[in-house]
Structure formats: structure tokens, C-alpha cells
């Protein structure tokens, strides 16, 4: 089994108690079985239905204006290795040197 991560802050400093886990960083507590079920049942797909996983590379399928900035991510802009996260944005990555969160419906999986 891989090292559990906190569902709130995604840190790996976790204390194990009978029946529950606790994050040392933020103090969040959750039942042990929920961590395994969440990892097993989560599938994130790109705009074309390809399954994404941690470490994949993605590219933009349309121009997107970055919220709170005048910058635009152009179509075809490629990311560094992605990390799948919970929340309203499924992908955390870097594009053009900027750490951003993206929805999977705006990207396509890139080979190598």
C-alpha cells in the first residue's frame, strides 16, 4: 500500500490510529477505509476520454484566460508532469512556469 496522503492538505505526514488516520500538518482526521476507497474509485478523463494519471503530460485544447491575470494559456501549451487533486479543479501542474489548477475538460493527454 502506498503512503496515505491527507485529503485536505495533501501532505504525507500521517499518524495511524485504530480505525482512523490523522494529518500532523493540518490536524484533519478521517476513517482508514475512506482513503483506500477514494483512491480506487477516482477516474479523471481528459476532453477526449483518455484516462489521466499522476505524471502524465497534457496540452490545452482551447485558449484560457487566467483568472486574476491578463495572461492567456494558448491552445497547444504543454504542461509539466501533472498531479491529480480533489476539488473543483482535477489537475495541478505548471504551464509556462506558472503553477495552476485546471479542469480536465480543457486538456488532452500528450504522449511523451
Which residues are paired to 109 by β-bridges?
58
Q: How far apart are CA 48 and CA 57, in angstroms?
A: 14
Query: Among 8-17, 52-61, 75-84, whose mean pLDDT is lowest?
Result: 8-17
Residue that is written with C-alpha cell 494558448 in the block: 74
pTM for the predicted model, two decimal places: 0.61
- Most trustworthy range by pLDDT among 28-32, 49-53, 85-89: 49-53
> Is residue 12 within 8 Å of residue 5, measured between CB atoms?
yes
Q: Where are the domains of the chain?
A: 1-41, 44-110
Q: How far apart are CA 38 and CA 33, in angstroms?
A: 9
User: Which CATH number is 44-110 given?
Assistant: 2.30.30.40
Mean pLDDT for all residues in the chain: 85
| pLDDT confidence band for 35 (50 / 70 / 90) | very low
Adjacency order of strands within the sheet including 98-102: 83-84, 91-95, 98-102
Q: Which class in CATH covers the domain with range 1-41?
A: mainly beta
Average pLDDT over residues 34-54: 75
Amino acid at each position: 500500500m502506498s503512503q496515505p496522503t491527507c485529503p485536505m492538505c495533501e501532505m504525507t505526514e500521517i499518524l495511524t490510529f485504530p480505525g482512523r488516520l490523522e494529518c500532523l500538518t493540518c490536524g484533519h482526521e478521517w476513517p482508514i477505509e475512506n482513503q483506500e476507497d477514494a483512491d480506487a474509485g477516482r477516474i479523471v478523463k481528459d476532453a477526449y476520454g483518455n484516462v489521466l494519471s499522476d505524471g502524465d503530460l497534457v496540452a490545452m485544447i482551447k485558449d484560457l484566460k487566467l483568472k486574476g491575470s491578463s495572461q492567456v494559456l494558448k491552445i497547444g501549451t504543454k504542461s509539466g508532469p501533472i498531479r491529480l487533486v480533489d476539488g473543483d479543479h482535477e489537475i495541478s501542474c505548471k504551464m509556462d512556469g506558472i503553477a495552476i489548477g485546471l479542469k480536465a475538460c480543457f486538456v488532452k493527454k500528450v504522449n511523451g
